[in-house]
Structure 1
Amino acid sequence: MKVLKLILKNALRHKLRTLLTIFGIAIAVIAFGLLRTVVTIWDSAVDATMANRLITRQAVSFIFPLPYSYKEKIEKVPGVNRVLHQTWFQGVYKDKSNFFVRMAVDPDAMFDVYPEFLLTPEELASFKKERDACVIGADIAQQHNLKLGDKMVLEGDIYPGRWEFTVRGIYKGKNKNTDKTQMLFHWDYVNERLKAETPVRANDVGWFVVQVADPNKSAQISNQIDAIFKNSTAETKTETEKAFTQGFVSASGAIISAMNVMSFVIIGIIMLVLANTMIMSARERTREYAVFKTLGFSAKHLVGLILGESMLISILGGGVGLFLTFPIVAGFEQAMPKGFFPFFFIEPITVVLAVTATILVGLISSVFPIQRALSTKIVDGFRFVG
């Protein structure tokens, strides 16, 4: 108990310096938590993919369409359970800042191929029944205060014109990392209008989502699908949904890698801040440590005092920072457009890394002060003036 009292008194001897150090560590932990959250959430988009889904897209680039007629041929490939076509619609809802996924899909297959999108039977039936119906994610409904029966009007860009839809379903996510920021509507509704206005663009889709019976045969099925359309005017490339998603993620790979590196650089900064405080404290107490040695205090007592003070400051700063990270991340989630990150929350691994880093910083920052205190002779300690 006496040692603990000494540790506390030593830490509070220079209250302002200690508080500033704790504040600096807390700010660094918050920054670390935010950066790690962005990195892990970005990676979670890949982890959220399903092993039994393949993506068949245009071989040159996914921005080029594929003929709708490919669907029937893909369905005949052995091992294929279901084929869903999707088309990136884009458009503008209210203003350009409201970015979220807007796609024309096959309503009959969409929620069979994506079982993690949860919709009530009544909502699904209404969605399938009406050509101008749409389904939106729960996050989009919350952000824009939308409810069943509301109208959503999109100003087309890729597909020009004014497009009006009626909300007939609001889907929830089966898992925490399920994307709940999408708007889905009938491809037939879009295609019929294209036939009337721009026939040359009709009967094309963006890509096909292929649900397979056995994920272990994905490579074989992919090769079979691509072989069917080899040497055609629109050759295909079929890959797992994970590989397809990684292609999107890799486009921002340099930024994410930089954020990943920066998150660990911040740990180094925390260490320097605390180490500087501990070195200053150890230097100021050189005479005191000489007195302790004279009174018979052993090396373990000195180690305990210095290490205890370092750990106390580090844990307090880390604890405050980690505590504040949760509401700050929640605030970021509310402030950001829902379509920017489909989900934004602190992963358990981020908490583990922050706690581990805080403990390591406390340990490492005490090494030099401990070495100085133990190696300084009693006579030299009494002679020290600082």
Structure 2
Amino acid sequence: MAVAILSFGLLRTVIDAWYIGVEASSETRLVTRNSISLIFRLPLSYRDTIRQIDGVETVSYGNWFGGYYIDQKDFFANFAVEPHSYLELYPEYVIPDGQKVKFTSDRKGCLVGKKLADRFGWNLGDTITLTGTIFPGKWDFILRGIYEGRNKNIDETLFFFHWNYLNESIKKLQSTLKDHVGFYIIGIENPYIAAETSEAVDESFKNSLAETLTETEKAFQLGFVAMSEAIIKAIQLISLVVIFIILIVVANTMGMSVRERIGEYAVFKTLGFRTRQISLLIIGESMVITVFGGITGIIMTFPAAMGFSMAVGRFFPVFNITWETMCLDLAVTVTVGLLAGIFPAYRAVTVRIAEGLRRIG
């Protein structure tokens, strides 16, 4: 029972980790990208047009950089962003004031999450060299700030640097990619105007060479989750199979226990024990077994999740056991205990006294 609850809890935590970006999304942030695909870029000139739309408070922009550190195995998410407006839109990134000033004022400066800095042993002032894939070459950055998440659901494995630094380097190559961004982040007054503002943004660039698709940050994140929908469904199915296996094992255990002691229950009936008392005795035994095993499994889940997080931290930067998962574990435990005890209890209370006494010895 403990191992099964441990497995169930880990599987549910993996599913939660897949949706962590969705849960951390803000209702007052919109994401604008090219309507064809995220890999197609948008002109920087769109920024001024978006700012003039009613309800828009802040506009930031950036590019997915796609670089890696030393080896391609050392992959992590890295973005070129406009630092001032981007940090204004993401107050959940907690940065000491001094580090924030240094990062925003140094064009070659970079900002990284605490978990990422700990992973590579980076310290403030270190020079970090990334190898570009989308933008080839060696790119040097100076670590000016390390941020922490406002809560445990904030990803602390991200790498940010100045968009201007990227754009100026592209201009030297006279590339067609200059003065283009991969996405816009839009801060709006309140979540109730999200649909209206999104429609206004897309209408502003309709029939242009680069039409846009604007959606809430949550919908944008769900789009990435949908790419792995088959895997998520498979994990959910496996978690249900685990529950079914628990039920069968516990029900079989209780069934064997009741069959071995059917004579004892017949004696109880002879002594005047009522049906309800015998039923509670059997169901109570089933509950003791499942609850003890379930609580043991929940306790074991925490060190197991910590080890799992260390092994797959690159893929699941935020891997926390939620209260919902623990409550679900307890609900499963109680449900299995009740269902596994009901059928043996019914067998014990319906057997005739004479038939039960024949089995003594």
Please tell me the TM-score bracket, short chain as reference: over 0.9
Who is 1:364 aligned against? 339
Structure 2 runs not aligned, ≥5 long: none
2:252 matches 1:310: no
Tell me whether 1:276 sits opposite 2:247 in the alignment: no
Find the counterpart in structure 1 of residue 6 from structure 2: 30
- Aligned equivalents of 2:295, 2:141: Cα separation in 1: 48
Q: 1:89 aligns with which of 65, 69, 72?
A: 65
Q: Does the residue aligned with 2:83 lie in a helix, a strand or coil?
A: coil
Tell me the TM-score normalised to structure 2 length: 0.96
How many residues in Structure 1 have an aligned counterpart in Structure 2?
361
Within a 5 Å distance, the mapping from 1:101-180 to structure 2 comes to: 101-180=77-156
CA distance in 2, matches of 1:358, 1:139: 35
Native 8 Å contact 1:79 1:213 kept in 2: yes
Confirm or deny that 1:184 pairs with 2:157. Answer: no
For residue 109 of structure 1, give the secondary structure of its aligned residue in structure 2: helix
- In the alignment, the residues of structure 2 paired with residue 210 and residue 348 of structure 1 have an alpha-carbon distance, to the nearest angstrom, of 32
Say if 2:149 and 2:156, in contact at 8 Å, map to a contact too: yes
- Distance in 1 separating the partners of 2:35 and 2:266: 76
Structure 2 equivalent of residue 13 of structure 1? none
**Structure-1 separation of matches of 2:173 and 2:330:** 60
User: Aligned equivalents of 1:360 and 1:336: distance in 2?
Assistant: 32
RMSD: 1.5
Q: Is 1:344 aligned with 2:314? A: no
Partner SS state of residue 10, structure 2: helix
What stretches of structure 1 of length at least 5 have no aligned partner?
A: 1-24
CA displacement, residues 262-313 of structure 1 (integer Å, 9 cap, x when unaligned): 2222112111110010111111112222222223332233223211211111
Shift of the 198–92 alpha-carbon distance from structure 1 to 2, 3 Å rule, reads: farther
Do 2:83 and 2:104's aligned partners in 1 also have CA atoms closer than 8 Å?
Answer: yes
User: How do 1:9-24 and structure 2 match up within 5 A?
Assistant: none
2:264 paired residue number: 288
Q: Secondary structure at the match of 2:84?
A: coil
Distance in 2 (CA, whole Å) between partners of 1:299 and 1:220 is: 64
What TM-score does the superposition give when structure 1 sets the normalisation length?
0.90
Using a 3 Å threshold, how does the CA distance of structure 1 residues 300 and 227 change in structure 2: closer, same or farther?
Answer: closer
Aligned AA (2:358)? R
Distance (whole Å) between structure 1 residues aligned to residue 334 and residue 52 of structure 2: 58
Find the counterpart in structure 1 of residue 192 from structure 2.
Answer: 216
Secondary structure of 1:163's match? strand
Identity of aligned residues (%): 44
Q: Residue type matched to 1:263 in 2?
A: S
Partner of 1:321: 297
Q: CA deviation at 1:201?
A: 1.9
- 1:195 is aligned, of 146, 165, 171, to 171
Which of 75, 91, 95 aligns to 1:99? It is: 75
User: Which residue identity does 1:149 align to in structure 2?
Assistant: G
The Cα shift of 1:111 comes to: 0.7
Residue identity in the other structure for 1:384: R
Residues 66 and 205, structure 1, Cα contact 8 Å, conserved in 2: yes
CA distance in 2, matches of 1:187, 1:49: 22
**1:185-222 alpha-carbon deviations (Å, 9 max, x no partner):** 01111111111125222111101001112322222221
